[in-house]
A and B are shown apart, each in its own frame.
Chain A
Amino acid sequence: MHARELSDSAPSRVVVVWCPDWPVMAAATAAGASLFDPIATVSSGLVVACSVAARAEGVRRGMRLRDAMARCGGLVVHHEDPVRAGGLFEPVVAAVAELLAAVEVVRPGVIVAPASGPARYVGGEDQLAERLIDQLDAHTGVSAQIGVADGFFAAMVAARRGVIVPPGQSAEFLAPLDIRELHHLDAGAGEHAELLDVLWRLGLRTLGAFTTVPERDIASRFGAEGARVHRAARGEERRALSRRRPAPELTVSQTLDPPVDRVDTAGFVARRIAGRLQALLVSHGVSCLRMGIHARTANDENLVRVWRCVQPVSTVAVADQVRWQLEGWLCGGGGMPPPTAGVVELRLEPIDVVEAGRLQLDLVTATDADGRDRAGRALVHVQGLLGFDAVCTPVIDGGRGPVERARLVVWGEQRHRRRAPGAPWPGRLPPLSPVVIPSPSPQGRVVDMTGASVVVSRRCEINAAPHLVQVEGWPPMPVLAWSRPWPVDERWWATDGAVRCARLQVVVDRGPTTGCGTAECPDQLALLVACTGGRWRVEGIYG
């Protein structure tokens, strides 16, 4: 370990353990399903990951759920849940950690560790790979692919192919491969999407072609980030840019009182401590490549796990990692029993600390991230005042009426959509939506000239011209114009939650306004009214 640190110029041997389709594996494990069934995890109506059996039937990532179902009749669908994927990964990490020292989790499904020491110990890299596969199969029943190469990126690519690249040959191994392999360089997907897009359009289709461009030119066009990607593509990636011992003042710890023993409180704790770590790193002008997550339970059990940080380090990413880790510990499972008591102290310890400038992205994104962090801190402050659930953010779903289309999700939770907004919704209202949705809806009447209630028939026809809208507490309002009724016949198959109503846009006269003074500008109000069985209510107010 020390010898390798000293000879920093030589790229280190790295082993990557990759569990293919981890989200699907996690979903199947949670549901107790067999991995040989066709399974897919879905988010916003799109397939995020699928099992081998599903892939054999033609299901692919990014496919619409409907198309996937059409290709594979027996497809079992689960919702994408990163928390579940993170929590269930902990037993896998524990099993790997028995064989490898200094294990780092890149994301749920991917583990990286230095290879040379353990390989010498078991008698070679091939033997190490076999032992790892064996170990995982025996302890967790998870099948994994192992890759060993010089540097993380080459090892990651090797793991996706299940090969071991001999020392010094990473560049040759990478050269003929598609440039889009660079998607695997960092933890999440899509960090380098823009760079890759430009390279692709420039006609640089393989990693080899990319590396023929001098690093200097790449650095001058794409900055330090581009240079880092270029080094990775050449197989000359260094473990760290310039490592410094972590200063003890960068460690953040938090005493938890009452102890955290439930998964739902873990999320809140994670956000708070991640925000503090981020603020501390920023104030020291540094960034960290890896961090250790330490937890101490009431019975003095010490739990430690090292995670590789997504670059650039953001509060949200760190909070997610802390949350996944806490959930992994709290849920136990696999070979690991859950701790005997709640967690009373949580500590985040940055491990490889580098000057922030070395990792900074271009300035525009940096100010963007700045604003996000500033806003995030303010909102965490408000959550502290009012409670976690008091701060929300709106998400637009699919649906017909204004009430079901907008939903408030708690700030910091996933903004995923329940129903695709793009899907056809027969009877959906046209796209000027009411700006105010009174809750509860004021009850009232819509009457014709004779004073009788207007009703909408089952065939969605209106029986008389609306003349007045009468709402409790409002003056009666003469109707100036009205639309055709939109039928809403949702869930007619269900006996309980069936909604049967018709909606109508009406424009009513509010009379000449006092502010305007003259009769030339009468004031009009537009309302969305809904009729259920002859009773009317105001569902929305326009403008």
Chain B
Amino acid sequence: MRDATASQRLASLGEVSTAGELAAAREDPATGRVLPVRADIADMLPLGGLSRGSTVAVHGSVALVMALLAEATARGAWAAVVGAPDWGFVAAAELGVALERLAVIPAPGEHLASVIAALIDGMDLVVVGNPEALDASRVRRVMARARQRGTVLLSHGAWPKVDLELRYLSGRWHGMGAGHGYLRRRDMVVEVRGRGAAARSRRVRVVLPTLDPVPAPIPDAAGSGGARGARA
């Protein structure tokens, strides 16, 4: 812990990068067990990030899927989006996704399962926009492969046997009145349901998206915090 605060103090000096930070950068996200997420949604996830090899289903909010990709891609992880031809990528960039490390396969057609399998080999995160197009046996094989390779599968829609389920319940927009203003932020309620220890569902309030600056992640929180969680 003393080390952590010391490294934070060092990191706050700006130009200085500590050996620990370099090591963290190398381990995370390339080999770290937990991929980091934006600070404002990290609290929502049981491990404070996306556990490698896990499958996460998101219901009802594309913004939430994009937000889950943001921090990891910004830190050098690679992501692919399959079967989501209508995503607005300007919004993805606004939410912090590094578009230069995002591959998009809008129309995988009948090859969906093979495409996902190929992507799992090379990507850190794979988003499946049309999971309903997969049958149960293919789903099992794809999940096993993702677990083996340490790739996070993000399904936008129902997916059997997920490790974590995030369900958008309701949202409330702010910033606009009767003919004036514009959309500034949305408060939404998300139901989080995990497996095993986290099986009891809980409701979380999240502000997403927002024009207000997102609090910067504390350098140490996403990396070693997540790893601590993974061991627990």
Which residues of A are at the interface with B, using a C-beta cutoff of 8 A? 363-364, 367-368, 370-372, 374-379, 381-382, 385-386, 390-396, 402, 405-406, 408, 411, 415, 430-439, 462, 465, 481-484, 505, 507, 513, 515-516, 521-526, 540, 542-543
In the complex, are the beta carbons of B90 and A393 less than 8 A apart?
no
Closest residue of chain A to B25 (Cβ to Cβ) is: A364
Some 12 contacts from A to B, beta carbons below 8 A apart, are A370-B30, A381-B121, A394-B99, A432-B91, A433-B90, A436-B88, A483-B181, A483-B183, A521-B170, A540-B88, A542-B63, A543-B61
Known contacts A390-B105, A482-B179, A524-B173: does B99 contact A437 (CB below 8 Å)?
A: no
A371 contact from B77, B118, B169, Cβ within 8 A: B77
What residues of A have a CB within 8 angstroms of the CB of B26 in the complex?
363-364, 367
Q: How far is the CA of A392 from the CA of B209 in the complex (A)?
A: 25
Q: How far is the CA of A516 from the CA of B87 in the complex (A)?
A: 26
What residues of B have a CB within 8 angstroms of the CB of A375 in the complex?
78, 101, 103, 122-123
Q: How far is the CA of A183 from the CA of B87 in the complex (A)?
A: 40
Q: Of the listed stretches B37-45, B46-54, B184-192, name the one at the interface; the rest are far from the partner chain.
A: B184-192
What residues of A have a CB within 8 angstroms of the CB of B123 in the complex?
375, 378
In the complex, are the beta carbons of B104 and A392 less than 8 A apart?
yes
Q: Is B176 an interface residue (CB 8 A)?
A: yes
Q: How far is the CA of A375 from the CA of B182 in the complex (A)?
A: 39
Known contacts A402-B88, A543-B61: does B211 contact A524 (CB below 8 Å)?
A: no
What residues of B have a CB within 8 angstroms of the CB of A523 in the complex?
169-171
Q: How far is the CA of A221 from the CA of B123 in the complex (A)?
A: 33
What residues of B have a CB within 8 angstroms of the CB of A377 in the complex?
121-122
Known contacts A406-B89, A434-B91, A436-B62: does B183 contact A542 (CB below 8 Å)?
A: yes
In the complex, are the beta carbons of B173 and A435 less than 8 A apart?
no
Which residues of B are at the interface with A, using a C-beta cutoff of 8 A? 22, 25-26, 30, 61-63, 66, 76-78, 80, 85-94, 99-109, 111, 114-115, 118-124, 167, 169-173, 176-186, 188-189, 191, 208-211
Closest residue of chain B to A377 (Cβ to Cβ) is: B122
Say how far A145's CB is from chain B's closest CB, in angstroms: 35
B115 contact from A382, A432, A484, Cβ within 8 A: A382
Closest residue of chain B to A504 (Cβ to Cβ) is: B179
Known contacts A391-B105, A396-B93, A505-B176: does B118 contact A526 (CB below 8 Å)?
A: no
In the complex, are the beta carbons of A462 and B179 less than 8 A apart?
yes
Q: How far is the CA of A381 from the CA of B169 in the complex (A)?
A: 38
Say how far A138's CB is from chain B's closest CB, in angstroms: 45
In the complex, are the beta carbons of A379 and B88 less than 8 A apart?
no
Q: How far is the CA of A218 from the CA of B173 in the complex (A)?
A: 56
In the complex, are the beta carbons of A439 and B170 less than 8 A apart?
no
Closest residue of chain B to A375 (Cβ to Cβ) is: B78
A394 contact from B104, B173, B183, Cβ within 8 A: B104
In the complex, are the beta carbons of A521 and B178 less than 8 A apart?
no
B63 contact from A439, A481, A484, A543, Cβ within 8 A: A543
Q: How far is the CA of A374 from the CA of B210 in the complex (A)?
A: 34
In the complex, are the beta carbons of A391 and B103 less than 8 A apart?
yes
In the complex, are the beta carbons of B90 and A371 less than 8 A apart?
no
Closest residue of chain A to B189 (Cβ to Cβ) is: A521
Q: How far is the CA of A382 from the CA of B109 in the complex (A)?
A: 12
B176 contact from A415, A462, A507, Cβ within 8 A: A507
What residues of B have a CB within 8 angstroms of the CB of A542 in the complex?
63, 91, 173, 183, 186, 209
In the complex, are the beta carbons of A526 and B78 less than 8 A apart?
no
Say how far A397's CB is from chain B's closest CB, in angstroms: 9
Q: How far is the CA of A438 from the CA of B104 in the complex (A)?
A: 16
Q: How far is the CA of A272 from the CA of B215 in the complex (A)?
A: 43
What residues of A have a CB within 8 angstroms of the CB of B86 in the complex?
436-439
Known contacts A396-B89, A396-B99, A432-B209: does B171 contact A524 (CB below 8 Å)?
A: yes
What residues of B have a CB within 8 angstroms of the CB of A402 in the complex?
88, 90-91
In the complex, are the beta carbons of B30 and A371 less than 8 A apart?
yes
What residues of B have a CB within 8 angstroms of the CB of A405 in the complex?
90
What residues of A have a CB within 8 angstroms of the CB of B94 in the complex?
431-433
In the complex, are the beta carbons of A371 and B105 less than 8 A apart?
no
Say how far A247's CB is from chain B's closest CB, in angstroms: 28
Say how far A131's CB is from chain B's closest CB, in angstroms: 46
Q: How far is the CA of A542 from the CA of B100 in the complex (A)?
A: 23
Say how far A142's CB is from chain B's closest CB, in angstroms: 35
Say how far B77's CB is from chain A's closest CB, in angstroms: 7
What residues of B have a CB within 8 angstroms of the CB of A394 in the complex?
89, 92-93, 99, 102, 104
What residues of A have a CB within 8 angstroms of the CB of B90 in the complex?
396, 402, 405-406, 433
What residues of B have a CB within 8 angstroms of the CB of A385 in the complex?
111, 114-115, 118
Say how far A33's CB is from chain B's closest CB, in angstroms: 34
Closest 5 CB pairs of A and B: A378-B122, A394-B89, A375-B78, A406-B89, A433-B90
Say how far A286's CB is from chain B's closest CB, in angstroms: 23
Closest residue of chain A to B111 (Cβ to Cβ) is: A385
Known contacts A408-B106, A432-B184: does B118 contact A437 (CB below 8 Å)?
A: no
In the complex, are the beta carbons of A379 and B109 less than 8 A apart?
no
Q: How far is the CA of A431 from the CA of B213 in the complex (A)?
A: 12
What residues of A have a CB within 8 angstroms of the CB of B100 in the complex?
393, 415
Q: How far is the CA of A484 from the CA of B175 in the complex (A)?
A: 12
Say how far B40's CB is from chain A's closest CB, in angstroms: 15
Say how far A349's CB is from chain B's closest CB, in angstroms: 27
A432 contact from B25, B167, B171, B183, Cβ within 8 A: B183
Closest residue of chain B to A368 (Cβ to Cβ) is: B76
Closest residue of chain B to A481 (Cβ to Cβ) is: B176
What residues of B have a CB within 8 angstroms of the CB of A378 in the complex?
80, 118-123
In the complex, are the beta carbons of A484 and B77 less than 8 A apart?
no
Closest residue of chain A to B121 (Cβ to Cβ) is: A378
Known contacts A371-B78, A483-B181, A505-B183: does B170 contact A543 (CB below 8 Å)?
A: no
What residues of A have a CB within 8 angstroms of the CB of B181 in the complex?
481, 483
